[in-house]
A and B are shown apart, each in its own frame.
Chain A
Amino acid sequence: MREISLHILDIAENAIRAGASRIGIEVEADRQADTLTVTVRDDGCGMPPEILAGVKDPFVTTRTERRVGLGLPLLAANCEATGGSLDVQSRPGGGTTVKAMFGLSHIDRPPVGALHETIRALAAGNEDRRITLRVRSEKGGFEFDSDTVKAALDGVPLSSPPVAEWLKEHLREGIAGALDLD
């Protein structure tokens, strides 16, 4: 994955497949600690210990369409290459929390990338789920909740093209105001 925001999309798609109705994404840059932390929390079906133990192994997957699962192993490798780490907490029926920590100033840290496009793709492509985003850095903070937008839309879909355009700009401006990173 070229961007951290693509990893976020990928992990959130796992949550959707796990039947999550709520996916919370947090991105926090801490210059003092020199860390960039990404957390994706879901209320999906969770994983039993034997699957959880193998989440970083590319040859462990719950899929039946193919025999490899590359999402989390790739993310773990990207974190570790920057002196960071990947932590996955999960239990059956209790949802899953994926916490990816990167070395903020490390030369191998992938750019955050188009986070606004990731959140828009998730919100517009999954009307029935609640997607929340929280971004924090010393520059400021930004919060987004797809349920707030849905309430204001009163029945008009999020993927309706003028709404999707509003979403993109709203997210782009909000994220840019809260995060001054590549």
Chain B
Amino acid sequence: MKTLEDLKRVREEAIKAMKVREGEQRVKVTVAMGTCGIAAGARETMSALLDELNKRGITDVTVTQTGCKGLCEQEPLVEVTIAGSETVSYGKIDAEKARRIVAEHIVNGHVVGDYVITR
């Protein structure tokens, strides 16, 4: 079982990785978690984001959540804000699309035009 002892080791790893990047949180990712988002698969989207970031060893990203944005037909909704850039809103993001956003937008800095929504 993953115990609190293991967690201390995980903590050391996280701190080391954060130091390499000078502890700055470069990117903020927000997943909408209203009833509409959850029913459309937002939890799986959030899990895919967290898992993909871990797989790639990316630690300068904060993943957070918000409620319904009133764009229920576009759920699951994901917003990506890279420090110094405007927030990009993505619609209908399933787990696979979430992994693509991590690879293309968060790692390489290219907005994934196919999934962008405008209000």
Closest to B70 in A: A65
1/0 contact string of B5-20 vs chain A (CB within 8 Å): 0111011011101100
Contact B14 A10 (CB under 8 A): no
Contact A166 B7 (CB under 8 A): yes
Closest to A6 in B: B38
Residue B104 is within 8 A (CB to CB) of chain A in the complex: no
Contact A9 B38 (CB under 8 A): yes
- Please measure, in the bound complex, the distance between the C-alpha atom of A46 and the C-alpha atom of B83, giving whole angstroms: 36
Residue B113 is within 8 A (CB to CB) of chain A in the complex: no
Contact B35 A154 (CB under 8 A): no
Contact A117 B47 (CB under 8 A): yes
- Please measure, in the bound complex, the distance between the C-alpha atom of A95 and the C-alpha atom of B85, giving whole angstroms: 39
Note all chain A residues with C-beta closer than 8 A to B33.
Answer: 9, 13, 121, 125
Contact A160 B39 (CB under 8 A): no
- Please measure, in the bound complex, the distance between the C-alpha atom of A120 and the C-alpha atom of B50, giving whole angstroms: 10
Note all chain B residues with C-beta closer than 8 A to A71.
Answer: 35
Contact A121 B65 (CB under 8 A): yes
Note all chain A residues with C-beta closer than 8 A to B11.
Answer: 152-154, 156, 163
Contact B39 A6 (CB under 8 A): yes
Contact B63 A163 (CB under 8 A): no
Offer 25 A-B interface pairs, CB within 8 angstroms, sorted by A.
Answer: A10-B35, A10-B38, A13-B35, A17-B67, A65-B70, A71-B35, A114-B43, A118-B43, A120-B47, A125-B33, A125-B63, A153-B7, A156-B14, A156-B15, A159-B62, A159-B64, A160-B14, A161-B58, A162-B54, A163-B7, A165-B10, A165-B50, A166-B6, A166-B7, A168-B50
